Amino acid sequence: MSSLGRNLKELRQKQSLNQKDLSDRSGVSQATISRIETGRVRQPGASALKNLADALGVSTDSLMDDKGGLASAHDITAHYCQQGAIRVLQAGYEAETVCDLGKILRILGDELEAMGIQFEAIDLQIIDEQRNRLTCYRAYSAARGYRSLQNEVTLQESLGHFASLRRLVSHWNRRKIWEREADEDFCQMTQEIFSDSTYHPGLLIDVPFAQGMLGLGLPRSGSGHPEQPATILSEFARSISLVVKRLFDLQSLREELDSTH
């Protein structure tokens, strides 16, 4: 197998893509991809090589390099994560109200699934201690029906009921990432806030941002998700923070204008 074929196969598998997936993404035929990976084609056309490199998020030089594949594989997730975060930010700047945050979460979920990340749901908790308000949003994966939920509850009252929420707010105040297994208290909180008794993820990851926490529920199987999901989620959290600030600033401005009439 040529270095090109080896690198192409390694990078493709690193992103959980089969040959058809890569063909759809790059526009290069599946037959050509197969011939490159098996060494039957050692020097594809410049256009095909560029399309494959772009689809995998690497340069053509690194794709051809004897050592390029392994080195570039570590940068793939970061590349697609940054691109996805930009698209989430763009969608957020096109949104008009805080009610659109559910749609923004669905877009974020689409980006994660495009990266080959398997998850159960994405959670967004906006913590407003000054107004004693907790606003919760959830977007389920396509496998769970692609639904979006949202609700607003009294912060202090909910803190008194759920230990997992108290720990969540504690991690937020300390700007700490929180990774843990979903417990009975979390499931009860989900039932109370979203009236959903069917959501039982395996692992929960929450990362802090200025206005709250962005969370990801991973499946119990433990397969199909990246080695450092918290790093990926943190990249998206920066975009979400900017979007949340913009939408709530707009809401405050509308409220002020309404109060003057």
* pLDDT, mean of residues 71-79: 59
**215 or 39, greater pLDDT:** 215
Angle, CA of 18, 21 and 24, to the nearest 5°? 150
Q: How far apart are the first and last CA of the chain?
A: 74
Q: Is the dihedral of CA 95, 98, 99, 104 positive or negative?
A: positive
SS (H, E, C) the chain: CCHHHHHHHHHHHHCCCCHHHHHHHHCCCHHHHHHHHCCCCCCCCHHHHHHHHHHHCCCHHHHHCCCHHHHHHHHHHHHHHHHHHHHHHHHHHHCCCHHHHHHHHHHHHHHHHHCCCCCCEEEEEEEECCCCEEEEEEEECHHHCCCEEEEEEEHHHHHHHCHHHHHHHHHHHCCCCEEEECCHHHHHHHHHHHCCCCCCCCEEEEEEECCEEEEEEECCCCCCCCCCHHHHHHHHHHHHHHHHHHHHHHHHHHHHHHHCC
| pLDDT tens-digit map of 233-256 | 999 999 999 999 999 999 999 988
Confidence of residue 162 (pLDDT cuts 50, 70, 90): very high
pLDDT at site 237: 95
pLDDT at site 57: 80
* pLDDT, mean of residues 40-55: 85
Structure tokens at 228: 């450092």
What's the chain's average pLDDT?
Answer: 88
Domains of the chain: 3-66 (1.10.260.40), 77-259 (3.30.450.40)
